[in-house]
């Protein structure tokens, strides 16, 4: 079972501390370090505006055959749209970590998150790297998770143990994100580590599959950022194969899935977390299109906030999604309550659905009646605090 409590993963150490990047004085520098070079895979933003640390990290993984030693993360500053200086600052950050660890620069990945367009304050950052290296601890995941936060209200960690063959392996992770969240990566950072040995190419394929079903299956507001990064690190040794690798993949997906849902649970101004499933679609593309149309609709999201089973808004969003469906077969279920099946099911159904929508978490299911493809996206409501947080973000 996936736990919210962080656990130590053999071969990995973590640190998180304040170094003066954030004016608030909150923790703003995090470090994840393996004992040696280990397999690593990454999924990054699809935004055409790409921050310097993303460019650096993608290049490191490509040149290094998906093996690295560490990742350094700063919060409070995205180092995005900062030109040649930003690229130099990302390289200098990696170099500072490499010097502190005694490894090569190209064994270090860099992540940044925060305000776009401002140059990194390099003096406190570089001094902080040395302090973070001194603070590394196998039990430091909680501190790491706190240091990567921006508008998050709480740190997000998940972990589990999995028995594979005669061995028990550990999987643990941390993530940040509360706004600018949408499939195709979002304003989020995610990190998962395991001591299980995996071939780098297998890990890359595994991680892309996992991210499709977890970090790329959440939406808060439809925006994607310049810095989005999700990384997974595995242990050294004879790599798992076949059923053993599949079992590990399931464990990694379980941890990543809960981290992804934790992001939605912590949505800026959000009060509801909704698992929205579109089933019976003619294709996966249709299922995804319909799910995203509903999950992103401001009218639907405000109805979720008001606990209003406004089925008309939901089916209208499906109707404009471009997905093929049979209007006479279209059905809508909120929790266990069928509220529409080719027609409105009456006020009694709305009253029961309203009771479901008072919960903090529930499900909505749409059946399109055209095939067997499906897609589940986790979304949330829009409340007035979303506007307040984002209106005041820089001021």
- Its pTM stands at 0.89
State the average pLDDT for the chain: 93
Average pLDDT over residues 339-360: 95
Residue 180: the pLDDT is 54
Q: Which of 86-90, 326-330, 350-354 has the lowest mean pLDDT?
A: 326-330
- pLDDT beyond 50 at 376: yes
Helices marked H in 8-82 — which ranges?
A: 52-63
Residue 338 has pLDDT above 70, yes or no: yes
Compute φ and ψ for 301, nearest 5 degrees: -65, -35
* Alpha carbon distance 40, 156 (integer Å): 21
Give mean pLDDT, residues 75-79.
Answer: 95
Burial class for 323, CB neighbours closer than 10 Å (0-12, 13-18, 19+):
buried
Query: Dihedral sign, CA of 284, 287, 292, 293?
Result: positive
Q: What angle do CA 189, 195, 200 make, to 5 degrees?
A: 70
Helix orientation angle between 52-63 and 83-101, rounded to the nearest 10 degrees: 50
CATH numbers and ranges of domains, the chain:
12-265 (3.60.70.12), 273-391 (3.10.20.340)
Catalytic, 150? Answer no
Residue with tokens 């149309």: 293
Can you tell me the mean pLDDT for 1-19? 95
CA dihedral for 99, 102, 103, 109, sign (positive or negative): negative
Per-residue model confidence as pLDDT tens digits over 150-197:
889 999 999 999 999 999 999 999 999 875 555 555 458 999 999 999
Catalytic entry in 45, 187, 194, 214: 187
CB-facing half-sphere around the CA of 193: CA atoms within 13 A = 27
pLDDT at residue number 184: 56
pLDDT in tens, 89-122: 999 999 999 999 999 999 999 999 998 999 999 9
Q: Which pLDDT score, from 0 to 100, does residue 227 have? A: 84
Per-residue pLDDT at 304: 96
């Amino acid at each position: 079972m996936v736990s919210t409590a962080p656990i130590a993963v053999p071969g990995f150490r973590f640190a998180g501390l304040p170094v003066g990047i954030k004016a608030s004085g909150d923790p703003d520098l995090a470090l994840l370090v393996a004992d040696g070079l280990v397999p690593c895979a990454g999924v990054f933003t699809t935004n055409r505006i790409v921050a310097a640390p993303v460019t650096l990290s993608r290049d490191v993984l490509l040149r290094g055959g998906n093996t690295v030693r560490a990742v350094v993360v700063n919060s409070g500053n995205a180092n995005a749209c900062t030109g040649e200086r930003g690229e130099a600052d990302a390289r200098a950050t990696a170099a500072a970590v490499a010097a502190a660890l005694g490894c090569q620069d190209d064994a270090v990945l860099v992540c940044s998150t925060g305000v776009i367009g401002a140059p990194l304050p390099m003096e406190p950052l570089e001094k902080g790297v040395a302090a973070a290296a001194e603070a590394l601890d196998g039990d430091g995941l909680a501190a790491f998770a706190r240091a990567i936060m921006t508008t998050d209200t709480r740190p997000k960690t998940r972990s589990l143990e999995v028995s594979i063959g005669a061995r028990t392996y550990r999987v643990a992770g941390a993530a940040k994100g509360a706004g600018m969240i949408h499939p195709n990566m979002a304003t989020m950072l995610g990190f998962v580590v395991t001591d299980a040995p995996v071939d780098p190419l297998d890990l890359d394929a595994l991680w892309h599959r996992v991210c499709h079903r977890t970090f790329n299956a959440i939406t808060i507001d439809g925006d994607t950022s310049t810095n989005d990064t999700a990384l997974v690190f595995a242990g050294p040794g004879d790599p798992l194969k076949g059923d053993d690798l599949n079992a590990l993949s399931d464990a990694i997906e379980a941890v990543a899935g809960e981290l992804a849902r934790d992001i939605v649970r912590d949505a800026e101004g959000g009060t509801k977390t909704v698992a929205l499933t579109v089933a019976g679609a003619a294709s996966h593309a249709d299922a995804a299109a319909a799910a995203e149309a509903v999950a992103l609709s401001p009218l639907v999201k405000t109805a979720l906030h008001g606990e209003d089973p406004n089925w008309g808004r939901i089916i209208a969003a499906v109707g404009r999604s471009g997905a093929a469906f049979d209007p006479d077969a279209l059905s809508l279920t909120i929790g266990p309550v069928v509220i529409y099946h080719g027609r409105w099911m009456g006020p009694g159904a709305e009253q029961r659905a309203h009771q479901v929508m008072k919960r903090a978490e529930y499900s909505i299911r749409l059946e399109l009646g055209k095939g067997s493809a499906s897609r589940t996206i986790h979304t949330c409501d829009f409340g007035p605090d979303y506007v307040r947080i984002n209106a005041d973000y820089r001021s």
